[in-house]
Amino acid sequence: MQQVNIKIIMRDTALAVGLRHLLHNLFDIEAERIDEGQLAETDTAATDLFIADSRSFASCIGFFIPRRTKLILLTDGESAGDGSIQTLNRFADEQTFVARLTQIVEAVREKAEDGNELSQREIDVLCLVASGMTNKEIADKLCISINTVLSHRKNITSKLGIRSASGLSVYAMMNGYISPTV
Amino acid sequence: MALVTPETKLCDVIIDEPSVIPVINRFDIALGVGDKSVKSICTAKGIDLTFFLTIVNAYINESFLPDYPFKTFGAKGVIDYLRKTNNSYLRNQLPNIERHFRALIGHSDANNNLPLLLQLYQEVKAEIERRIEADNTWFDKIIELEKKAGQAHISIDPAASNNEADSIEDKLNDLKSMFVIHLRGDYDHNLCHAVLFAIISFEKDLRQNNRIRNRILFPLAAAIEDNTK
């Protein structure tokens, strides 16, 4: 079974510990609880999933929004971010809660087994290509060389099977990396 | 498949390579071709045999290199063929795909991906329409120059082929990848397959016709232009 890396970010200790034990007992996953201050030093490319409650999400929104495809937001039952953020309802009955958590873990395992997943840097480049920037502008913005941009673009194309900027833009919208324009 | 020769039966060509059906249609050859050879069908229809073989072989075989110079046909023949192709894109293929696409979206309520894919399709469609408009001006210019050149001998340089990557082909390929690799959520399977098949066959037809354009018309137009300078 593919080992996945899950980080839990929430101030409520009872909730965090409960979730960590649930992930261990049901799925044999050793999730790590970190506090909000540690997020900046987290290797996001190596993290498969962040589970945050609404308070931690609100105080670190700048970190979570660009990484929302890797985020599960623990809510009181409401949807989040126009439906573009996945949620886990903490007030759902036990059976529904476990079923939803199973669905989330299975999706994460499936993604982790797929070697074609984009790295965080490739996602950054993808978003800038989708916003219409040239390779030179992307290089300047990310403080990297044009050759590095070209190499990221080549990897993105080979992982996704998409070549054109328009195609990459639609892919970025489909996956919530940028806002849809339709 | 092997090169089509004057003796090849047209029915064998169609059965081996069904994507050639729109091509023979552009020559006003309807299905129900019997077991006649290409040569006898071209003779009966008054079609220039060399021209037909050049177009069909360039369409079917990626590595086909035309036999320069073309003694029996000029740029006008190729342009007439490409104009028919453009018209069939505008009148049939492009609106058909869009109609199926809209029906698919109408029958797949909860899927947010499909309107984004339609958006990409509409972008490709608009680019094709712009290219067809530019073609009309370019084609008129070549025909005009060909008239001026008259029967003068022209020397065609195969290196004058256009080898530039085609952004329309790239986008159609991306659209195909979006459906095949990245489509998520619920959708009407029958309609989705219909849209995907239509996109795949259109992409193939466009790619094959680009070959005719790039390897036959481009060098021919360049030679005519040189000759009239």
B54-88 pLDDT tens trace: 899 988 988 887 776 666 678 888 899 999 999 99
Closest CA to A119 of A81, A147, A84, A160: A160
A45 has pLDDT over 90: no
Residue A171: closest C-alpha in chain B: B178
Q: Give residue A182's pLDDT.
A: 45
Strand pairing category for A6-9 and A32-33: parallel
B82 and B22, same domain (yes or no): no
Which residue of B116, B167, B174 is in closest CB contact with A162? B174
Q: Give residue B58's pLDDT.
A: 86
Structure tokens at B168: 């329309």
> Looking at the domain assignment, is residue B5 inside a domain?
no
Q: What is the mean pLDDT of chain A?
A: 87
Cα-Cα-Cα-Cα torsion B72, B163, B58, B55, nearest 10 degrees, comes to -40
Asked whether the beta carbons of residue A166 and residue B171 sit closer than 8 angstroms, the reply is yes
> Looking at the domain assignment, is residue B69 inside a domain?
no
- The kind and range of the H/E element at A148 are helix A146-160
Nearest Cα of chain B lies from the Cα of A144 at a distance, in angstroms, of 27
Q: What is the mean pLDDT of chain B?
A: 88
> Looking at the domain assignment, is residue B165 inside a domain?
yes
What residues in B contact A114, CB-CB < 8 Å? none
> Looking at the domain assignment, is residue B66 inside a domain?
no
What lies within 8 Å, CB to CB, of B75 at 6+ separation is B142, B143, B146, B217, B220, B221, B224
Strand pairing category for A49-53 and A71-75: parallel
B98 and B202, same domain (yes or no): yes
Q: What percent of chain A has pLDDT over 90?
A: 52
Closest CA to B226 of B50, B69, B86, B66: B69
Residue A155 CA to residue B211 CA, distance in Å, equals 28
Which residue of B115, B180, B181 is in closest CB contact with A182? B115
Closest CA to B182 of A133, A111, A60, A29: A111
* Cis status of the peptide bond prior to A66, with omega within 30 of 0: no
pLDDT tens sequence across B114-157: 999 999 999 999 999 999 999 999 999 998 888 887 756 666 66
What is the three-class DSSP state of A71? strand
B82 and B185, same domain (yes or no): yes
B112 and B168, same domain (yes or no): yes
- Positive or negative, the Cα torsion across B103, B107, B112, B113? negative
B183 and B149, same domain (yes or no): yes
> Looking at the domain assignment, is residue B2 inside a domain?
no
- The DSSP-derived string for B78-128 is HHHHHHHHHHHIIIIIHHHHHHHHHHHHHT-TT-SHHHHHHHHHHHHHHHH
pLDDT tens sequence across A118-175: 888 899 999 999 988 999 999 999 999 999 999 999 999 999 999 999 999 999 988 8
Domains defined along chain A, listed by start: 6-113 (3.40.50.10490), 120-174 (1.10.10.10)
Q: Which residues pair with A73 in a beta bridge?
A: A52, A87
B30 and B79, same domain (yes or no): no
What residues in B contact A166, CB-CB < 8 Å? 120, 123, 171, 174
B83 and B147, same domain (yes or no): yes
Pick among A117, A153, A159, A162 to test the B interface (most B CBs inside 10 A): A162
Q: Give residue A80's pLDDT.
A: 61
Q: Give residue A112's pLDDT.
A: 73
B92 and B205, same domain (yes or no): yes
> Looking at the domain assignment, is residue B3 inside a domain?
no
CB A76 within 8 A of CB A53: no
- Positive or negative, the Cα torsion across A9, A11, A17, A22? negative
Q: Give residue B154's pLDDT.
A: 65
Domain ranges, residue B180 = 75-227
CB B42 within 8 A of CB B184: no
Structural domains in chain B (count): 2
Stated pTM of the model: 0.71
In this prediction, residues A2-20 reach a mean pLDDT of 90
Of the two residues B229 and B176, the one the predictor is more confident about is B176
A8 has pLDDT over 50: yes
CB atoms near residue B154 (< 10 Å): 21
B109 and B45, same domain (yes or no): no
